[in-house]
Every structure is written in structure tokens, then in C-alpha cells.
A and B are shown apart, each in its own frame.
Chain A
Amino acid sequence: MSFDIDIAYRRGTHDIALRLIAKPGLTALFGPSGAGKTSLLNMVAGLLRPDRGHIRIGDETLFDSKAGIDLPPERRRAGYVFQDGRLFPHRRVRDNLLYGWKLAAPAQRWITLEESIAFLDIAPLLDRWPATLSGGEAQRVAIGRALLSGPRFLLMDEPLASLDRARREEIMAMIERIRDELQFPILYVSHDRSEVERLASSIITL
């Protein structure tokens, strides 16, 4: 499976026109703040609507302005890890993790709660409230929540931005495992060159 994206978007001073074909593995979108990297992820996730163009994943079309196709976000099966975690503050960690898992069809799930807990090392956090987590803990839970929702591709928006050095190393190793073991496409936004060079299978500069 791969991404085939060709979109144009313009709002005020924001002007994005982009064409990319991303192979399986991790494709890094690299560039300065304000280049529209997050907007692009939002368009792939269905949270932002391009003016024209198309977004395809494998042989399924998520968006096509000519054909009038625009799948709502809940049907795109994106595993979106946001820069700020965006955990639900009124649900404990366990319920955050299970939010998408419960909504996914059984056939779409490819990881269990137990597996994700072991993989991300978050067993001690399950009964905590998101407000009590550190940045690194929250980011690991956010990754777990995205994986558990049964996605077929991942969108990661600077998942390391809020972390200190030790935690960055830990999460990077985790992302490498996801990249190598799951073999599905990942769009990864960053403005840190060393991070991108280490993780990316291919790099696209915006």
C-alpha cells in the first residue's frame, strides 16, 4: 500500500500545492513551521478539505474533487498521532486506549490492548487521568490509542516535539519498530533533520 496525494489548498496566506507518492515505510515531510505540513496530515485524515485534487491510499480513494468523493474521517481508518497528544481529559488512560478499539470492526483490529500495553510499556498508567501524565507518557498513550483503532496507515505530527532527550530516544525506537514490523505507510511530519534522517525511508521537503 502507498499514498498517492495530489492536492491544492488555499486559505488566506496559506497556500499549499503538493504532489507525492509515498511507498510503504516512513515518509518524512520535512520543512519549516508554517509550510503546511500539519494541514497536509489533516487533509489526509479528513479533518481539512482540499480545494481540489485527490488522496488515495492503496487502491482506495479517500478524496477526489473531480469524482466528488470525500470520505468522512471516521471511515478513513487513519491512525493519527497528534503533536499535542490530544488525549480525552475526561477518560482514564485505559478508556482513551479503547475508544477507537471499540469502534473498529473486529476484522480491522490487528493489535490487542495487552499487546499495545506491552509494546508501549504503559501498564502502570492505565488507571491514571491524562492530566497527570508527563509529556512522554501521554505521547506513548496517544500512539497506543491510534494503533488500537485498527488503522491502515499512520499520520504522525511531530510526535517527539514535547519530549526530553531520553524519552525521544525511547519513542524513536518504538516508531522504528512500528515502521519495520507493521509495514504500512506512515506520513511523518518533523522539522528536525537528525530525526528525519534516522527514521525516514524517504524524505519530502516542503
Chain B
Amino acid sequence: MVSSRSAIGDLMLTPEEWAIVLLSLKVSGVAVMLTLPVAFGLAWILARGRFPGKLLIDAIVHLPLVVPPVVTGWLLLLAFGKQGPVGHWLDHWFGISLMFRWTGAALAAAVMALPLMVRAMRLSIEAVDRRLEGAARTLGARPARVFWTITVPLSLPGVLAGVVLGLARSIGEFGATITFVSNIPGETQTLPLAIYSALQLPGGEALVARLALISVALSLGALLLSELLARRTGRGGPGHVL
């Protein structure tokens, strides 16, 4: 993958670099899109629900934040491997395997991004003034309509913040990914994994620097974009992600 090396100062990306960037965006984009409804649902339950075992769910959701990523990757390997309960089931009924595939990388990124997304969304749901929801009810809105017209728009800045944090975390995901789906160029080799590979190569310093710059640029761009979006949607409320 380092066949054609370019100088650090060259602004054009080589085809190999493009492939790595696009794969990273694909993996993290799919991971965040799939996690979004799950994270919002969990955030909703944790913000509004009152039931026994809530503390336990809260703790489990946060687990990937504190467990070493390599352990998370190993657990995914146990569950989704050919012999694992979920992996066996997926293979048997759908002929799907996540092992050594970019979809597995997306799953690893999703699991690692989940706690950050749930945290941001939960805070924003908790910040929604429930008296406004009551006002909407008296005006004739059923609970589902109140949810879509009041709760969701008012918690949108936090949802966006969650998406951006999740994207940033997914793009940076390393430990769980390399443990679960290995480091395969073109399939599971996202930006951090490519940087790791380049570091092992003699004379790979220029590539490392370029890939590192790309990751910084991607993260910065995502943060700026989300801040702009939050400012546009957050009128009348605190519309900040940063």
C-alpha cells in the first residue's frame, strides 16, 4: 500500500490514501448511522425511564468507555466469531460473517462510539423542559406527536453533538477493531490502522505524517460542521456543541 509515496507537503492524496480515507468514512459513517437509533432509544430510557435495573443498563452502556478496547474486541470476537453464539446464528440463517470484513470494523466502531453518543443525547433529553410537552398535550397533541414536534427538535443539538462525538470516536477507533477484524488493507484498514502499519515500515515516516494530518483535518472538519449545524437548529436554546 505504500508503493507510491508522496512528499509530506504534497496536497493531493494518492489513490492509496484516498482508499484509506474513504474506507474510514464508510466504516464510521455506517457505524454512527446504525448506532443513532439505538443510542437515542437508550438515552431516552435512561433519561425518562424509572425501572429496576436502570443502573445496570447505564453501567453496561458505559462499559466500552472504561474497559480496555482490546478486551471489547476480544468479546466481539467471542460473540461474532464463527463459533460464537451471534456469529454462528448470523452465518447459519443469513450467511453473513463479520469476521475480517469492513462490516465488523463498523460494528467495533459502533460499540465503542455508543457510550459517548448515549451520554450526549441523554443530557439533551434531560434538558428538554417537560412542561412544554405538557403544553403541547393540552393543545391536542398525542404523545407520539409531542415526541416528534417538541422533544426531538429541542434535543437536536445534543443529538448532533452525539453524532459528531460518535464519528470522531469511530474514525479514531483502533484497539477493538484490530483485535476483532485484524488489519487488512482495503477491507478493515482504517486510518489509525494504516498509521500503525506505516509506523512498522522502514521509511514510512512521511506516510505516517500525512495520514495523521488527514485524521486531524477530518476531526476538525466534523467538529466545525456540527457547531454550524447546532447554531442553525438551536434557536432560542443553547445551540452549542463545542
List residues of chain A with CB under 8 Å of any chain B CB.
42, 45-47, 72-74, 76-80, 82, 84, 86, 88-90, 99-100, 103-104, 129-131, 145-146, 149-150
Interface check B59, CB cutoff 8 A:
no
Q: How many B residues, CB 8 Å from partner?
A: 20
Once A47-B134, A99-B136 are accepted as A-B contacts, the answer to whether A130 and B142 lie under 8 Å apart by CB is no
CB pair B154–A100 under 8 Å, yes or no, is no
Q: Is B186 an interface residue (CB 8 A)?
A: no
Query: How far, in angstroms, from A146 to B135 measured CA to CA in the complex?
Result: 10
Q: Which of B132, B141, B153 contacts A103 (CB 8 A)?
A: B141
Q: A86-B132, A88-B150, A89-B154 are in contact. Are A47 and B236 (CB under 8 A)?
A: no
4 A-B pairs besides A90-B153, A130-B236 with CB distance below 8 A are A73-B134, A86-B131, A86-B135, A100-B141
Docked pose: A45 CA to B141 CA in angstroms: 13
Convert B176-200 into 0s and 1s, putting 1 for each residue whose CB lies closer than 8 angstroms to a CB of A.
0000000000000000000000000
Which residues of B does A touch, CB under 8 Å? 131-132, 134-142, 145, 149-150, 153-154, 233, 235-237
With A72-B137, A88-B150 as known contacts, state yes or no: A82 contacts B235, CB within 8 Å: no
For A47, A88, A103, the residue with the greatest tally of chain B CB atoms inside 10 Å of its CB is A88
In angstroms, Cα B136 to Cα A103, docked, is 10
Contact B137 A46 (CB under 8 A): yes
The docked-state distance in angstroms from the alpha carbon of A130 to that of B129 is: 15
Main DSSP-derived SS at the B contact region: helix
Contacts of B131 in A (CB 8 A): 82, 84, 86
CB distance from A156 to the nearest CB of B (A): 12
6 contacts across the A-B interface (CB closer than 8 A): A46-B137, A46-B138, A80-B138, A88-B150, A103-B140, A130-B236
Contacts of A89 in B (CB 8 A): 132, 154, 235-237
Question: In the complex, are the beta carbons of A90 and B138 less than 8 A apart?
Answer: no
Cα-based distance from A107 to B141 in the complex (angstroms) = 17
Give the residue name and chain of the A residue nearest to B153 (CB). Answer: A90
- A residues less than 8 Å from B142 (CB atoms): 72, 74
- 8 Å CB contact of A145 from B137, B139, B154, B233: B139
Q: Are B138 and A45 in contact (CB under 8 A)?
A: yes
Which residue in B137, B153, B233 is a CB contact (below 8 Å) of A73?
A: B137
Q: Are B154 and A90 in contact (CB under 8 A)?
A: yes
Q: Is the CB of B137 within 8 A of A131?
A: no
CB distance from A188 to the nearest CB of B (A): 16
Known: A100-B139, A103-B139, A149-B139. A131 touches B236 (CB 8 A): yes
